[in-house]
Chain A
């Protein structure tokens, strides 16, 4: 029982990170239609933005986090200008390859800046443990779950209670109609990229203390975020959350109860199964991209 509580906490914490990474991916996809294969590198950059502010610059915790997220917001805006705008009317394969290409550039740039030696990003709850029902769990893991819930709540409020969020949803539903209604579509699309980058940044800052900050961490995260997105339902935010939590729990519980070697096969197997049987995922609506 104690083991199970510990595993569930760790699984939910990891799942929360995947969920935030998937949310960042889905926000961009819903608004712009771009399948961003550099999504994993966004999370990696989030972790290393934290390395730059907290470790290299030595800023105190709250200031360092805010600084890292501001850097991620600027990065999202830059990505919108340099990658999205030139590729926006390209076929989907070109966009996939283009985002992969820029992902290679980002990874190499991080390697040149930070080196190949992994960093240990500190947590505000460094070394703190909590005993629940006989199980010892790290406070950081619980904080990750709580912070993710708060982020999701803030995102919901943004999308449903503010003009900019409602505008974003309008653009996602029908960009042409949104433009005819006088919405500033280009600004809203740029804001989607910024929001997606900030979400990835939060995921990266929370993941840093759980894994080592390594410039090669992007690809595994991207693959998990894709699996989470497909399982939950492409383009659905509740789906990204459910899918992320599922993938995180499957990884941690699978490693412990099934096989540590084949733990990742569960997530991808379930993803392929969903694509075959229910490609709209748990929460998605019937999709048009299906024969």
Chain B
């Protein structure tokens, strides 16, 4: 079997084994990890391949979740049907935002997307007629498949595992396609990429829209899993968490996105034994991971397995701009 098929089979086997062996509480965390994994695999298109720093991904997740929630609770749509406009609408919104915004790079893009995420939160909290304000939207219907309701944690996890697997395969196909290589070319050197005939803006917008569509799928899963959404669920802190998951797992790697999402979902829970100070330790551990594993967990594993080829070299630190005091 090819290594990728092997990884996929291993992922599904481990996921299924966990789904029938762990406690209800761990099942809930696994579901949240799987939902985050969808968003982080998506973020990998924008950041891992195309090098676009997005701190606004939680807003796209929220946009998808809100579209689904509004269509199901107010218009009575089936959640499966409502997911379609949720994902397509979010992708379209990302395209419209991306065209002007993606001219920005580095921390300018990071702050612009952060500003978008904060603005999304303000609108979601105050546009009460549509979003329910800070009370959010409750009683979002759950998903059902062949007449079986996926309301409890275990069946939902099976669905989530399949969704993650399918989206990972799609991401892997995109990565190996012309377009995926074009994204990486844009990340590594924009000028060279455009000299090679790549439409840089179009590729960036495509990567951004695709990653937003993945985030919207995560939002749909979240809304149908928890049955309740509020602006806090899509706070900018979640965007930073998604980016942390990708960096810790290993940027540019689909396996890294999944491992990072799982690790950063469970790590705070494992640290809870430390009592009230667990968040302080969490922050320090994150810092330690960033310092000692700059290529993430997957990067570390592949460097250890194939020392000759090595991991992709880190991008050089951006040059300091001049002070204008």
Contacts and interface: CB of A to CB of B under 8 A. Distances in A.
A104 B325 contact: no
Contacts of B122: 261-262, 264-265, 268
Contacts of A174: 322
B119 A265 contact: yes
Given A96-B110, A100-B240, A226-B114, A107 B321 contact: no
A233 interface: yes
B101 interface: yes
A54 B85 CA distance: 56
A179 B247 CA distance: 32
B53 A169 contact: no
Interface string A93-108: 1101110111111111
Interface stretch (A127-135, A204-212, A278-286): A278-286
A184 interface: no
Contacts of A87: 290-291
Contacts of B320: 30-33, 172, 175
A197 interface: no
B22 interface: no
Nearest to B318: A92
A271 B111 contact: yes
B162 interface: no
Contact of B317 (A33, A103, A235): A33
A269 interface: yes
Interface string A221-244: 001001100100111111100000
Contacts of B278: 108
B323 A235 contact: yes
B153 interface: no
Contact of A101 (B108, B286, B322): B286
Interface in B205-240: 237, 240
A105 B283 contact: yes
A90 interface: yes
A37 B55 CA distance: 12
Interface in B75-125: 100-108, 110-112, 114-116, 118-119, 122-123, 125
A275 B314 contact: no
A97 B240 contact: yes
Contacts, number: 198
B126 interface: yes
Nearest to B102: A291
Contacts of B290: 87, 90, 94, 97-98, 101
A120 to B, nearest CB: 24
Interface in A68-101: 83, 86-94, 96-98, 100-101
Interface of B is mostly: helix
Nearest to B317: A89
A100 B238 CA distance: 12
Nearest to B284: A105
Contacts of B114: 223, 226
Contacts of A90: 290-291, 294, 314, 317
A104 B283 contact: yes
B305 interface: no
Contacts of A287: 108, 321
Nearest to B119: A268
A139 interface: no
Interface residues of B, number: 57
B72 to A, nearest CB: 26
Contacts of B251: 93
B213 to A, nearest CB: 22
B187 to A, nearest CB: 12
B321 A288 contact: yes
A283 B277 contact: no
B112 A272 contact: yes
B190 to A, nearest CB: 7
A290 B321 contact: no
Contact of A234 (B108, B123, B284, B318): B108
B1 interface: no
A91 B247 CA distance: 11
A30 B319 CA distance: 11
Interface in B304-325: 314-315, 317-325
B45 interface: no
B318 A33 contact: yes
A261 B55 CA distance: 23
B286 A285 contact: no
B103 A291 contact: yes
A240 to B, nearest CB: 10
A119 B320 CA distance: 39
A283 B324 CA distance: 8
Nearest to A283: B324
B11 interface: no
Nearest to B103: A291
Nearest to B246: A93
8 contacts: A30-B320, A30-B323, A31-B323, A32-B320, A98-B286, A100-B240, A111-B276, A169-B323
Interface of B: 47, 53, 55, 100-108, 110-112, 114-116, 118-119, 122-123, 125-126, 190, 200, 237, 240, 243-244, 247, 251, 276-284, 286-287, 290-291, 294, 314-315, 317-325
Give 7 closest A-B pairs by Cβ, nearest first. A105-B283, A172-B323, A101-B286, A30-B323, A104-B283, A108-B279, A33-B320
